[in-house]
Amino acid sequence: MQEFFLYMKHSLRSIAVGFCVVFAFLTSLHTSGQTVGSPHHQLMTLVETHAAEYRQVSKQIWDTPELGYHETKSSLLLQEHLRAAGFTIQAGVADEPTGFIASYGQGKPIIAILGEFDALPGLSQQLVPERKPISSDGPGHGCGHNLLGAGAALAAVSVKDYMVNNHIAGTLRFYGTPAEEGGSGKVYMVHQGLFKDVDVVLHWHPYDRNVVFNGGALAETSAKFIFHGTAAHASLTPEQGRSALDAAMLMGNGVEFLREHVPSNTRIHYTIPRGGTAPNVVPDLAEIYLTARNPSLPVLNDIWSRIADIAKGAALMTGTQTEVKIVSSDANVIPNNVLAQLVQNNFEEVGGFHMSEDQMRYARSLQATISGTEAKDLDRTALILPLRATDPNDPSPSLDVGDISWNVPTIGFWAATFPAGIPPHSWQATASAGMSIGQDGMVVASKVLAITAIDLFANSELILEANQELKRQLQGKGYQSAIPSGQKPVLDYREN
């Protein structure tokens, strides 16, 4: 009898252990209310299936950083992987050698995912938590666009597989968009009508936190104001000279006086890349490279017309001629509350990620290189911040996705790929973007993009509501880009 009870005791224990194992397995297939076999669960599984491949893609792009409109290797790499996954590739779109569209499916709805891959000048960096460039003054992915493009492609491939497996109708597009950093690559795509039939556009961007980006950013216009004068001997025959440098300096002075009479959330910054060759030669060529920004595109357009008048006045005062070359112009991002709530819900479902001990040690070393960041919370990668309205007075960058958002319902989000307190456009961000911290955040972003895309394919009412929301947000506003109609991309904008 004692042996029987011992047998039953061990049997019940085995059953209990087995039940716990099964329960744990089933629990692992759920996240924040996610149901096993649901569309969201299927998509997250597909993202994980392809993740290793696209982690490597992100590292390959990181290893070969390329500046805007010259991202030949990066663009071709993404095209090759998307083509192998079953997408049709249209290369060289919008007169951009590295721009492309990858498409799968046919008919409506048309859901687009954006991918960037350009690097920044001067931010070359080894994968170490101290300043060590790979190449002196070389480019580097200090804004994490290696992650952005690869992560967006990972989402697109996963959505495509889901569409095949579940016979989903519609068209999925991946837009390979070059030269976001100062080249306005997406704007030229808008001008050439490449988004006119798209129903919704999705995008993401690396950052040091997880938060939905519902509108905001600063409208921006950049141009090179080139003054042409007359050279002369500055001492022997100064009366024969007409100084282009004088004109550039007078323009700069005029802009400084203008600052008092523009909205306080306006930004104006400039350099003088060319100002003459020798003190005793009256400069016959000078240039101001100027950028102006404001949270409102119409307000910025008014400010820009005043800046252009200052340039004309400087030329008139000095007897010189002025030439204006618009380099870039990005609109502010129009919010879409319908899409923002959808992405917020999906972001909370996916959740972030917790750093490993090795990642935390590396992150603390990076934080120690920036004053004031040492105590920043490293668990920020796991936290999804609440949805909130954009404050037009918040510090903000400019993004060329803004022009898309004036024409198509658009939504995006920041995903934590840098340790807390690490700013974009820094060597510390470059280092983060090349290692597992960045790649883990990239996978989170891919899951959010993927499940949001499939929600839109499955719910035409959501798309209708998003379009109605865009019309409401644009009421009384008009889209007008500072880039002249018919102008082609400035492929050499990084050069004088």
How many angstroms from the chain centroid is the CA of residue 330?
Answer: 13
CA distance 485 to 443: 38
Structure tokens at 399: 């993004």
- Cβ(399)–Cβ(143) under 8 Å? no
Amino acid 345: pLDDT: 98
The CATH class, in words, for 219-330 is: alpha beta
Write down the mean pLDDT value for the chain.
92
Based on C-alpha coordinates, what's the Rg of the chain? 26
Taking residue 67's Cβ as centre, other Cβ atoms within 10 Å add up to: 19
The angle that helices 460-474 and 337-350 make with each other, rounded to 10 degrees, is: 130
Assessment of whether the complete model's pTM goes beyond 0.85 = yes
Give me the pLDDT at residue 466, please. Answer: 98
- In CATH, the number for domain 39-217+332-474 is 3.40.630.10
Q: What is the pLDDT of residues 422-466, one digit of tens each?
A: 999 999 999 999 999 999 999 999 999 999 999 999 999 999 999
pLDDT in tens, the chain (496 residues): 444 343 444 444 444 434 443 333 343 444 445 577 899 999 999 999 999 999 999 999 999 999 999 999 999 999 999 999 999 999 999 999 999 999 999 999 999 999 999 999 999 999 999 999 999 999 999 999 999 999 999 999 999 999 999 999 999 999 999 999 999 999 999 999 999 999 999 999 999 999 999 998 999 999 999 999 999 999 999 999 999 999 999 999 999 999 999 999 999 999 999 999 999 999 999 999 999 999 999 999 999 999 999 999 999 999 999 999 999 999 999 999 999 999 999 999 999 999 999 999 999 999 999 988 777 789 899 999 999 988 888 888 899 999 999 999 999 999 999 999 999 999 999 999 999 999 999 999 999 999 999 999 999 999 999 999 999 999 999 899 999 989 999 999 988 6
Structural domain boundaries of the chain?
Answer: 1-30, 39-217+332-474, 219-330
Rounded to 5 degrees, φ, ψ at 293 are: -140, 150
Domains 39-217+332-474 and 219-330 share a fold: no
